[in-house]
Amino acid sequence: MPSVEAALRARIDGGGRAFVPYVTGGAPGFDADVLRGLEAAGADTIEVGIPFSDPVMDGGVIQEASRLALDAGATPLSVLRTVHEAKLGVPVAVMTYANPVWHLGFETFLRSCVEAGVSGAIVPDLPVDEAKDWAEACARAQVEPIFLAAPGTDDGRLAEVAAASRGFVYCVATYGVTGERTTLSETAAELVGRLRPLTERPLLVGVGIGSPEQASAACGFADGVVVGSALVRLLSAGERAEAMELAAAFRAAIAN
Instruction: List the catalytic residues.
Output: 47, 58
Contact call for residues 122 and 161 (beta carbons, < 8 A):
no
Distance CA 21, CA 227 (A): 5
Of 21, 170, 137, residue with least CA distance to 88: 21
Q: Which residues contact 78 (CB under 8 A, 6 or more apart)?
A: 25, 26
Of 211, 227, 253, 238, residue with least CA distance to 49: 227
Q: Count CB atoms within 10 A of the CB of residue 181.
A: 17
In one-letter notation, the amino acid at residue 65 is A
